[in-house]
Structure 1
Amino acid sequence: MAWNEPGGGQKDPWSGKGGGEQGPPDLDEVVRKLQERLGGLFGGSQPPGGGRPGGGAHLSTKVIGVIVAVLVVIWLATGIYIVEPAERGVVMRFGRYVDTTVPGPHWHIPAPIESVVKVNVDEISTLTHRAAMLTQDENIVEVELTVQSRIQDAADYLFQDQDPERTLNDATITVVRVVIGQSKLDFVMTEGRGAVAVTIKERIQDLMDRYKTGLIVTSVNMQPAKPPEQVKAAFDDAIKAREDKERLENQAEAYSNEVLPNARGNAARILADAKAYRDRVIASAEGEAARFTAVLAEYGKAPEVTRQRLYLETMEEVLGKNGKVVVDVTEGANSLMYLPIDQLMKQSQTQTPPEPPAQSVLNGLPALPERVDPPLRAVDRERRVR
């Protein structure tokens, strides 16, 4: 049965008593007691006559000031931030770029006035591009390359370009098609692959700087270009022919390097021999001329004697080289004289040879000047005597 129903005894649940005279508790009284307790907590004194509205307002202002100060300190502390070594901090004030901070502890005006965005500038991003394109000599080639980049300027990366990665992709496609289109197939597939990669990197970086993307291209790795599958067999034959050509050229160069030094050496030797022969012939001719001049002077003094001596010397030289001599004793006679000179020479080795008859004849003749060169041939002497 409810307290206010007939027969309920009129019990008031708010007062806890059975009488119906009491109402709900006074809210002003509850607030006053709470202010007194807070005042005692922060060192305030209760005014005489109990807590009054004026004293409670004083304590409330002081407490609010302390609370506000604590909140301000906490708010300022939220502006402390640390930038890692691989990062850069981009400070914005009301959404506008202010500064870029380096690694280390920093402070900024807390939100909502300023905010900080940390950007990793050491992270390497990789972009792979693969496509078939037309070369300068109107051949189709499949090219695959990998472009690696990282953030160089954090502010430009965040504010200058809406999508730097997409810009890098578009720039890579454009540059690759232009560079391959300006190159011949053999150059792209053989020794020009490194040069093509360097050119692509430089041109992509130029576009990144022009659009202020804040990205730097660290490397461009180009895989070996290959022809389409439909014509791969023909390209393989062409490559094999090119390799055979290079091999034959290398062999020819090696043969040339081997033959030319030998030929140069033989030529130098022949020239040296010719020079020596020339010097020897000139010296011999000069000696013959000097001897002939000396003989001519003696011949002018005694022509008959000189002529006879030359004749005897010539006969001595000619007959000394023959082993057998046949002499016609009398003109018109049928008898001949045979002299076995070889047998006589053998006997002269065991016995003391007598003085040759010609030597006795020569002893009475005047001596000729010494020879300055080997003796003249008999035919030359006869011609000169005549």
Structure 2
Amino acid sequence: MFLPLLRRRNPKLIDAAVAFHRSGALPPNTYVIDLDAVERNAAAVSAEADRLGLTAFAMTKQIGRNPDASRAIRAGGIRHAVGVDLECAIAAATGGLAAGHVGHLVQIPRYRAAEAAALAPLYWTVFDEQKAEEAGAASVAAGRTQDVLLRIVGEGDRFYTGHEGGFPAEQVVDAARRVDAIPGLRFAGVTSFPATLFDAGTGDVVSTPNLTTLTRAKRELEAAGFADVELNAPGTTSVAALERLAEAGATQVEPGHGLTGTTPLHAARDLVEEPAIAYVSEVSHLWNDRAYVFGGGLYVDPVLGDLATEALIVRADEDAASVTPRPVEMPAAEAIDYYATVAVPAGAAQPGDTVVFGFRPQVFVTRALTAGISGLASGAPRLEGIWSADGSRPLGVADAIDGMERAR
């Protein structure tokens, strides 16, 4: 769905990706990220958040926790990250984004609480009192008082399967008092996910029951005497959604796909944020009138449903702008994505041809690589670095040879 958008609004990213792949500098199974566009997108979110009195925490899991992208996000004005898990928080901090929020969506494991405390996060979400006790003990040991958010659940709230958990919303005041009394902790506010979602029927972002629950809980807490109650409201976050969230009482927002222009709303209409990511691969071989394309990162975020995927197969003598997209048969969800296949007429593809996809990614759940490209606007694109899906440097042949030598 995002390939036509990418071709229309950021064709320079496609052209640079093709050129770098043809030169041998960019391996297949790599997500390329337009760092300049990410910086502009972050600046747009940051400016609107500042206008509305919101604090923005960047979500970097979707882009493989790429440290070059983290630096671009910081340059755009967003200085803290939300770690969907502890590894995410560590990787973002390594890339220059301080820990803004940990423990949501994934709780901090008991025996890693000390690591989370060492990051000195601004906020730490807990789903129950046991997790609060663990956070408190780790914070005391680290010599600090930790602001905590309570994940709350109200009747009618919706969660993705496997995301459930939290304090009963109707007991939020009592829960806040109990958590606030735990040594090392200070109750700071409430959170849930998702607070907003894309509605295909209206073609717009709509508030979920979770957001209503959060707004009601904040009012109850304020009436009970709690001051400066934080309301963390993640989900489908872009400039277009921020005013709605502020009106509901939100104080914290967490842009993720908004930073690469890949929220579902971006697929429905042009927004301020530019599309800034593409997946680059290569034709491996031909078999029975099909081109087999290297995989490894062929995970299309299912938030938009079961949509058809298309790709550009760009021959060595072709320009990407002149190529017609071809339907891709993606690997089954239960299969390992060694390859995707594309039906091609005779002579339409050869091994080594560049293949470019445009879809909504979740790089951190794949074995893909990421690569930031800067300088597209100036016409002098530069490949900044290649990283693994967890934000670390990928091991290369030199590492393998060194390992074999050490083993001898």
The structure whose Rg is larger is 1
For the aligned pair, the TM-score class normalised by the smaller chain equals under 0.3
1 or 2, which has the higher helix percentage? 1
Q: TM-score, normalised by structure 1?
A: 0.16
1 or 2, which has the higher strand percentage? 2
